[in-house]
């Protein structure tokens, strides 16, 4: 007699989690479709206003993710037809999210036909989302914010919509990665909200600092990012060599050396990924994560504040109405986001 109420309660809990997963997945799917759509519509506005440079650069960051999607589909051993149809288009990540969302909806209806391919589909989805946000969302955000800051024409509504959509897409992708695969894999809903907000502060301050530095110093941003990459690569490789070869049984130190180098395309947005998949049972790996996280966040704060202060002091736009508010926001958001994220990781993994 006591088993029936417990069984019913368990079914209700499972159904509630399924509905929550479906709703979050639906939100992620809508973002995945909205991000490239708003970016393409913004490029159309650039073309109409005869901003050929912004249009060309923006179009390049629509095509580049398509090439990466094509390679990703081939790497996951998809069929040739599926690779060509679903790979080389800006909605590849959104299409994968839609398939996962449909599976979650069927689970809500107690039609759970999950199989071994579900885990591979989830891994493919996260990889595609990271490719999309790093090669499309972040560059498009910088291009559009640059245009908003220097253009003389009236700002179009689609530009105002595309900016927050790109930022939300980028923030959601990193939050989902940390909460499902990274060092915050077992965090609860409240902790996920804190993680999302911390990433919103960190990424917005980073993108604003990079954009306004480009406005003043143009291609010197490459020097800043290269110095950042080399410094993180050296530190990350040293710590990875000490930990990763022992954490992954049967793997050599080659894995520890090559992993930070392969993650260079993410390095300018977040540089603590190489140790996030280390075996949780390794005490030394946990301490390495806790050392790398504050180091990378402190480095981000220093870089962001330096870039935005150089813009405020020496830019020809330093007398504009937005220069001081942007400088204050970037500096404060960098500190708040970094402190919140480091504190959250220490609280969850203590």
Which structure tokens are listed for 188? 């609860």
pLDDT for the residue 257: 52
| pLDDT for residue 2 | 47
Q: Which two tokens stand for residue 298?
A: 């402190």
Whole-Å CA distances, 33 to 40, 91, 162, 213, 330:
11, 6, 12, 30, 29
Q: What is the DSSP letter of 137?
A: I
Q: Are 25 and 100 in contact (CB under 8 A)?
A: yes
pLDDT of residue 146: 93
Q: What is the pLDDT of residue 289?
A: 63
Q: What is residue 176's predicted lDDT score, i.e. its pLDDT? A: 83
254 Cβ contact list (under 8 Å, min separation 6): none
Predicted confidence at residue 212, as pLDDT, reads 94
Instruction: Collapse the DSSP code of 321 into the 3-class scheme (helix H, G, I; strand E, B; otherwise coil) and give the result.
Output: coil
Q: What is the pTM of this model?
A: 0.84
Closest CA to 336 of 325, 328, 324: 328
- Tell me what pLDDT residue 271 has: 65
Which pLDDT tens digits describe the chain residue by residue (350 residues)?
Answer: 445 666 555 555 555 566 677 787 788 889 889 999 999 999 999 999 889 999 999 999 999 888 888 877 766 556 655 666 666 788 888 888 888 777 777 766 655 555 545 556 666 677 788 888 888 899 999 999 999 988 877 888 998 999 999 999 999 888 888 877 666 766 777 888 888 999 999 999 999 999 999 999 988 999 988 888 888 777 777 766 665 555 444 444 444 555 555 566 677 887 666 554 444 445 555 566 666 778 888 888 999 999 999 999 888 887 888 889 999 999 999 999 999 988 888 887 76
Q: How many CA atoms lie within 13 A of 87 on its CB side?
A: 19
Tokens of 67: 């090439």
Q: So what's the pLDDT on residue 280?
A: 44
Contacts of 301-305 spanning 24+ positions with Cβ under 8 A: 301/334, 301/335, 301/338, 303/209, 303/224, 303/228, 304/205, 304/206, 304/209, 304/330, 304/331, 304/334, 305/209, 305/330, 305/331, 305/334
From residue 177, give the alpha-carbon distance in Å to each of 141, 158, 173, 286: 20, 28, 6, 18
For 302-323, the DSSP string reads: HHHHHHHHHHHHH-TTTTSTTH
């Amino acid at each position: 007699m006591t088993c029936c109420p417990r069984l019913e309660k368990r079914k209700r809990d499972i159904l509630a989690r399924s509905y929550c997963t479906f709703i979050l997945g639906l939100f992620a799917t809508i973002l995945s479709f909205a991000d490239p759509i708003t970016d393409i519509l913004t490029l159309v506005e650039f073309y109409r206003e005869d901003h050929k440079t912004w249009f060309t650069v923006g179009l390049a960051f629509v095509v580049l993710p398509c090439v990466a999607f094509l390679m990703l589909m081939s790497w996951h051993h998809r069929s040739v037809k599926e690779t060509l149809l679903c790979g080389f288009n800006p909605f590849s990540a959104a299409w994968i999210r839609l398939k996962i969302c449909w599976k979650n909806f069927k689970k809500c209806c107690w039609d759970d036909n999950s199989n071994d391919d579900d885990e591979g589909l989830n891994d493919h989805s996260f990889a595609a989302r990271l490719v999309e946000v790093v090669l499309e969302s972040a560059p498009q955000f910088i291009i559009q914010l640059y245009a908003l800051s220097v253009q003389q024409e009236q700002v179009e509504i689609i530009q105002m919509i595309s900016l927050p959509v790109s930022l939300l897409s980028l923030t959601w992708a990193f939050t989902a990665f940390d909460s499902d695969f990274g060092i915050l894999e077992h965090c609860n809903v409240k902790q996920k909200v804190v993680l999302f907000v911390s990433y919103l502060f960190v990424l917005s301050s980073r993108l604003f600092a990079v954009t306004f530095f480009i406005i003043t110093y143009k291609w010197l941003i490459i020097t800043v990012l290269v110095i950042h990459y080399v410094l993180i690569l050296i530190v990350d490789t040293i710590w990875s060599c000490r930990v990763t070869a022992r954490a992954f049984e049967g793997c050599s130190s080659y894995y520890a050396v090559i992993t930070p180098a392969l993650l260079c395309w993410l390095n300018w947005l977040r540089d603590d990924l190489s140790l996030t998949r280390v075996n949780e049972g390794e005490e030394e790996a946990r301490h390495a994560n806790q050392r790398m996280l504050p180091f990378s966040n402190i480095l981000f704060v220093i870089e962001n504040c330096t870039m935005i202060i150089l813009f405020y002091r020496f830019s020809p736009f330093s007398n504009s109405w937005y220069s001081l508010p942007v400088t204050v926001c970037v500096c404060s958001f960098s500190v708040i986001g970094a402190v919140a994220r480091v504190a959250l990781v220490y609280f969850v993994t203590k």
